[in-house]
Structure 1
Amino acid sequence: MTIAQSSELGITHLPDHTELPESDGTFVKNFQEHPQSILLTDSVTSVLQQLHPDNQYAIGQDCGIYWRLTEPPEKGAEAPDWFYVPNVPPMLNGKFRRSYVLWQEYVAPLIVLEFVSGDGSEERDKTPVTGKFWVYEQAIRVPFYGIYEVSKASVELYHLVDGHYELVPANARGHYAIPAMGVELGIWQGQYKNMQAPWLRWWDAQGNLLLNSDEQCQVLTTQTQVLSQELEQEQQRAERLAEKLRQLGVDPDQL
């Protein structure tokens, strides 16, 4: 984390999340980004609840991570499309965060994900101080950085090793392991909500897809239907048996 000298900016104290801009005024790049972020959060929630039974974690979507003081203030922040921070309170003093301020909280995100809308050069920019890649690697020092390109149906995952990002190789399933979370990241081709696309999704360490709420409900509905059918079949068998007993002069109700 870098903090510009207060004397240069006329700053007498370090601002917190309530004093910093919550947006740099840019638009969300496309209509796929919003459901993609929801899908990531929805499907990984059960894992995070197991990792954090005290609920001490935070997830940001298009929220600024402030890492240095600048003028204007928003120039000192990066706003990943999705990120997860372990072991921090979900709210501050009963208020929703407007942004994530490193000099206020100190804990860096464990993983940040960027969704490519252009050619990916912005997400891979290693220019000191201004490039996204450089900021995540050298300033914020995020352990895992993912670059997701829906147009190519691909994701690159980088791991911070000895101060520099190394590309994580895919495993036999074509997924990328994140041991600290006990999950794998990869591409899933299918329909989410009303859109068919290659979605960025999570799997557990055994390669099982982490289901979102809709999929979990569908599984429960299917299981309920199967149990109902089995119960109905058992009732029909019992009725047939009772009828045969009556034909033999045996009252099944007396057994």
Structure 2
Amino acid sequence: MTQGISRLDLPRAFPDHTQLPESDGTFVKNFQEHPQSIFLTDSLTPILQQRHPDGYYAIGQDCGIYWRETDPPEQGAEAPDWFYVPNVPPLLNGQIRRSYVLWREFITPLIALEFASGDGSVERDRTPLAQNNPPTRPGKFWVYENILRIPYYGIFLVVTGTLEMYHLVNGFYEPLPPNERGHYPVNPLGVELGVWEGNYQNQAQRWLRWWDRDGNLLLTGREEAEQERQRTQQAEQRAQESEQARLNAIAQLQKFGLNAQQIAQALNLSIEQVQNIMQ
């Protein structure tokens, strides 16, 4: 270093997702949480692929969204049970995302969902960030509304199977009313979110599900495969029944002494078809 020039101390760079904890060490709160996240992602994937043909979107499931630097770092993050961020790469520099760092990417999630095991009071906590030292951890609702500014926020009460939805309007969350189907429109995605009762992952209960804007249920990959299997099975059954009906009709006409040509004319079939059936 040149004599007379002091060393310049630069502030350290803000950490990225590889330098921040990927978990706060808490347990998953109920057995429905992970299947519910998979259920939502699976059925929504075709919609997201249409909206993002370049693949630029990310789905988070119980992953931290870092919005400020704290010590410990986990105090500066919220971890929605499920959230969707548009227009961001699914990988960062070829690495799987460990968390979502807002000061690195700047794009806020479009929707965040919490699966509340209790009465939802934690998820509705509006406690603001206190300017004391160290600062008091603010409430989840307050962070989503005032810092992350997530346009759509849902609280699913697992015990009762009920859903509360909020929409950010002029900087504040307002309750989002359900439509005539009892669903909550998420207009930027062209879908509706609601509660469906049925069996998934060996659990028969109430689940969060997506519908399209016309009220058609968005199916999972397994449901689509099962629906296609049933359509194929029904088509085969109809073909068998039609074939059996032809056999019965030919047998009846043969009793009256009609030949193959006459039977073909009577049943509007070709002679070859009648002969093949009669063999």
One-letter amino acid matched to 2:13: H
Q: Which residues of structure 1 form unaligned runs of 5+?
A: 1-9
In 2: Cα distance, 1:171 partner to 1:222 partner: 32
Cα displacement (A) at 1:45: 0.9
Q: CA deviation at 1:237?
A: 4.1
Match of 2:73 in 1: 73
CA gap of 1:92–1:176, structure 2 versus 1, over 3 A, is same
Higher-RCO chain (CA-CA 8 Å, sequence separation at least 6): 1
Q: Report what 1:89 is aligned to.
A: 89
Matching of residue 177 in structure 1 with residue 196 in structure 2: no
| Structure 2 residue aligned with 1:117 | 117
CA-CA distance at 1:204 after TM superposition? 0.9
5+ residue gaps, structure 2, are: 1-9, 130-137, 262-270, 275-279
2:118, 2:159 within 8 Å by CA — same for their partners in 1?
A: no
Listed one character per residue, the Cα deviations across residues 72-112 of structure 1 (whole Å, up to 9, x for unaligned) are: 11111100000001111111111110000111111100000
User: How big is the shift at 1:173?
Assistant: 0.9
Deviation at 1:202, TM superposition (A): 0.9
SS at match of 1:180: helix
Question: What is the SS of the residue equivalent to 2:95?
Answer: coil
**Equivalent residue number for residue 6 of structure 2:** none
CA distance in 2, matches of 1:169, 1:228: 45
Quote the residue 1:18 is aligned against.
18
For residues 239 and 67 of structure 1, the distance between their equivalents in structure 2, rounded to whole angstroms, comes to 73
Q: CA deviation at 1:215?
A: 1.6
Q: Is the 8 A contact 2:66 2:101 kept in 1?
A: yes
Within 5 Å, which residues of 2 pair with 1:22-33? Answer: 22-33=22-33
Q: How far apart, CA to CA, are the structure 1 residues paired with 2:173 and 2:273?
A: 77
- The one-letter code matched in structure 1 to 2:92 is L
How far the C-alpha of 1:254 sits from its partner, in A, is 8.8
The amino acid of 1:216's aligned partner reads E
- Count how many residue pairs are aligned between Structure 1 and Structure 2: 246
Matches within 5 A, 1:1-255: 12-129=12-129, 130-240=138-248, 244=253, 248-250=258-260, 252-253=271-272
- CA apart distance, 1:214: 2.3
**Cα pair 2:42 2:220 within 8 Å, conserved:** yes
* Partner Cα distance (1:42, 1:147) in 2: 20
Rounded Cα–Cα distance in structure 1 between residues aligned with 2:163 and 2:200: 18
Q: Secondary structure at the match of 1:187?
A: strand
Larger Rg: 2
Alpha-carbon distance, 1:250 to partner: 3.1
1:213 CA drift (Å): 2.1
Q: Distance in 1 between matches of 2:99 and 2:27?
A: 17
Alpha-carbon deviation of 1:167? 0.5
TM-score, with normalisation over the residues of structure 2? 0.83
CA pair 240-131 structure 1, distance change in 2 beyond 3 A? same
> Cα distance, 1:206 vs. partner?
0.9
Same amino acid, percent of matched pairs: 59
What RMSD in Å do the two structures reach over aligned CA positions?
A: 1.9
